[in-house]
Each structure stands twice: as structure tokens, then as C-alpha cells.
Amino acid sequence: MKNILIILVLFLFSTLSKGQSPASASRPLVLVSFGVLQSIAKEIGEDHFSFLNISEKSDGHEFEPQPELIKNFKKAQGLILNGLDYEPWFPQVKKHYSGPVLIASEGVSRLKQPDPHAWLDPMNGIIYAENIKNFLIKLQPEAKSQLEARFENLRKKLVAISIEAKTKFRSIKNRKVVTSHSSFNYLAKALDLTFYSPQGSNAEQEPSARDLKKIIETVRQEKINALFLEHGIASGTLKTIARETKQDISGTLYSDKLTDATGPAADYLSLVKANLEKLYEALK
Ligand SMILES: [Zn+2]
């Protein structure tokens, strides 16, 4: 009997020390298409749901459904996508999942150019967060007041960040930036900046020699000196542009991928703040 007790105590201790109380293991599973959505969803609903980022090994543009992930599709009670053509792979996995789907960018005023990265403007982040909050309330109506409170907290922070950025960026002289792929058009519109990039809105597609030549000419003509790498995206093309135009690289911005917990963009709020700080430093 004593031995059984010791084993039981050890088992409980090991479960708790992994941060998994028996209750958390039974939280309903919601799938998200990439890390930024996971972060926003956790900010609002981590006490009530567990969120699984299905593109952990790539980024949301690309996704190869592995058999172990397909198992999670069968268990999941909700699926959150970005929309704006960010997930071209979705029809492929649709046959494995028949539950409710949320398009988190629903209600964002869409730009003319193809760019699904609407979350990079913090005011759009509020639209994402509100859609996610409403979706989670539908899945778990009894948690409504807690989900509303967490959303309101996040909304206030994003409004404050956005107002501060708009004021700060009003006075800067240089307003042109080069990044790896076409991902900052929403933030550019919010802050009245212009972003150029050798790659289109999907970073997996290599730029053509012609596109590369064109952007090198633009950097020279417009005297652009803010050249940024993007976290999680190959740096080769940007380094070529920097070398050809004799410019330094200003640093790394965060578009699709969060950093690990110790990095500067470990969650959505940090990602937004880090981008704004780095851009301001390079452009002021
Ligand atoms: Zn992207």
C-alpha cells in the first residue's frame, strides 16, 4: 500500500511539474494555422482551450499534413485560419476536418496588392482578436465573461501601441524600407511608409533575376538605407541587395514567425512592438 502511495505521489508530481494539471489535458483542442494566431488565441483563451499550431515546422504559407497532425484534425473542436489567401493548402486538409472554421482576418479592409499579413498592423490585430474571442465564446459560452475580459485587456494594449506609433512615425524623414518578402503593406499603410521586397507575398517563391535587378535599382535611386531581414526567411537575397547597393542591413523584422520564448518576438504583442522599435530606429 505504501509503495502504491509513493508511486501515486510521484505520478502527480511529475504531471504537475510539466505544467499540465489533469484539467488542462481535457481542455478542448483548437487548431491554428500559424504561430501568430496561436499567440493571439492564447492571450484570450488559454485558460479554457489548448491551441495547436499546425505549421510549427514551416510557416503558415506552407503546410504538409503529417499523419500525426491528421489525428489532431479529428479531435479538434475548432480551426482558426488567417484567410486573405494565406493558406492555399486548406482545401487539401478539409477532408480531415468537419468542425467550425474561423477566418481571423474577416472584416479587415483588404489592400489591392496581394498581401495576407494583415496582422502586422496592430489595429488589424484587434479585428483578429475580436473574431477569435467571438469564435471561442461560441465554442464555450460559459466562459464568455472571462474571454471578454481577456480580449478587452489585449484590445487596450493594441490601441495604445498603435496610437503611440502613429504619433512617433509622423516626424520621421525616411519613409522607405526593403524587406525580404511582400509582407508589411498593412503596416506601411497604417504608418504611411513604403515597403519594397524582392519576393512576393509567399517567401517560398524565389525572386527572379529581373525582380532582383529592379529592386537594386530602386534602392540606389531612392537612396533607401533601411534594409531588413525577416525572421524565419532565408537571408541570401537581402544580403545580395545590401552588397550591391553598399548598404548595411538594419536588422531583422518579424512577419510570419515568432521567436522562441527568450527571443524578442515570443508573442504577438512583442512582435508588433519589436517591429515598430526597429523600424523607428532605422528611419528616424
Ligand atoms: Zn509571409
CA of 64 to the centre of ligand 1 (A): 16
| Degrees to nearest 5, angle at CA 200 with 194 and 202 | 125
* C-beta separation of 51 from 42 below 8 A: yes
| Domains of the chain, first to last | 23-164 (3.40.50.1980), 171-283 (3.40.50.1980)
User: Taking CA 258 as the corner, what is the angle to CA 254 and CA 264, rounded to the nearest 5 degrees?
Assistant: 70
pLDDT in tens, the chain (284 residues): 555 555 544 444 444 444 444 555 689 999 999 999 999 999 999 999 999 999 887 777 888 878 888 899 999 999 999 999 999 999 888 889 999 999 999 999 999 999 999 999 999 999 999 999 999 999 999 999 999 999 999 999 999 999 999 999 999 999 999 999 999 999 999 999 999 999 888 777 788 999 999 999 999 999 999 999 999 999 999 999 999 999 999 999 999 999 999 999 999 999 999 999 999 999 99
Distance 200 CA to ligand 1 centre (A): 9
pTM equals 0.89
Cα(180) to centroid(ligand 1), Å: 10
19: left (phi over 0), alpha (psi -120 to 50) or beta: left
CA of 5 to the centre of ligand 1 (A): 52
In the reported structure, the alpha carbon of residue 56 is separated from the centroid of ligand 1 by a whole-number distance in angstroms of: 14
Cα of 232 from ligand 1 centre, angstroms:
10
